[in-house]
Structure 1
Amino acid sequence: MILSESQIEYIAANLKHYGVREEELREDLLDHICTHIEEGKDTDFEEAYRNALQKFGGQYGIFALQQHTFYIVSLQRSQLRRKIIYTSGFIATFLISSGSMFKFMHWPLASILLLLGFLVLNFVFLPVFFYNRYKSENHTYSSIS
């Protein structure tokens, strides 16, 4: 069965109606549903569309897929923030402690190491740290209500 433009638009509108907000996910689902309908043996569009939706678990399955995708994307962003926090924290600590040691020993480059350490601390570590705390608290409050 070959789908017309109006049928494809109908499927896309239904996906939006089912609550699929992510554009990329909606396009992927539209592509999979259209492929399932075109490769199926049904000749009636409505029947083929219902069968394709049932393959994805119906309206609830599509909503659950949207939620699952959202949590995975959120988790990946959270893990990236944690990596930035740990890495920048280590670099800032290393630069500040090395700069302090260089300063005590009166070695050259002490001021540069201290300056770089405090720059990393103030412009990378602290903003990402507090942003991550804000996002964590915001997520906690939104999951409670």
Structure 2
Amino acid sequence: MYSITEQQVDFILRDLEAGGIETEALRYDLLDHICVIIEGGWKPTGISKHSTGGPSGVFTGRSSAR
């Protein structure tokens, strides 16, 4: 298991904002999901109806939700 530092949390939040996620609540929701994936040692298990291709898809800036 991996622990995320405060500096890494700040980096993720800045990256989400730079990627166009303008809504603070959405940034923090995404941050929570990203931290769970990183800290839990996420491993792909296949594609499900909820899959977006892995955590890197969050940082593409292609989301229409802002």
Decide: shared fold, TM above 0.5.
yes
Q: CA RMSD in A?
A: 2.2
Q: Unpaired segments of 5 or more residues in structure 2?
A: 44-53
Q: Aligned residues, how many?
A: 55
Q: Which has the larger radius of gyration?
A: 1
Tell me: CA distance 1:41–1:22, structure 2 relative to 1, closer, same or farther (3 Å): closer
Identity %: 33
Which residue of the partner structure matches residue 55 of structure 2?
A: 52
TM-score (norm 2): 0.69
Which amino acid in 2 is paired with 1:3? I
Residue type of the partner of 1:36? I
- Tell me, yes or no, if the aligned pair for 1:53 and 1:59 is still in contact at 8 Å: yes
Q: Which amino acid aligns with 1:9?
A: D
Identify the structure with the greater helix proportion.
1
* Separation (CA, whole Å) in 2 of partners of 1:41 and 1:32: 11
Relative CO higher for 1 or 2, CA cutoff 8 Å, sep ≥ 6? Answer: 2
Unaligned runs of 5+ in 1: 43-50, 71-145
Structure 1 distance, partners of 2:56, 2:16, is: 10
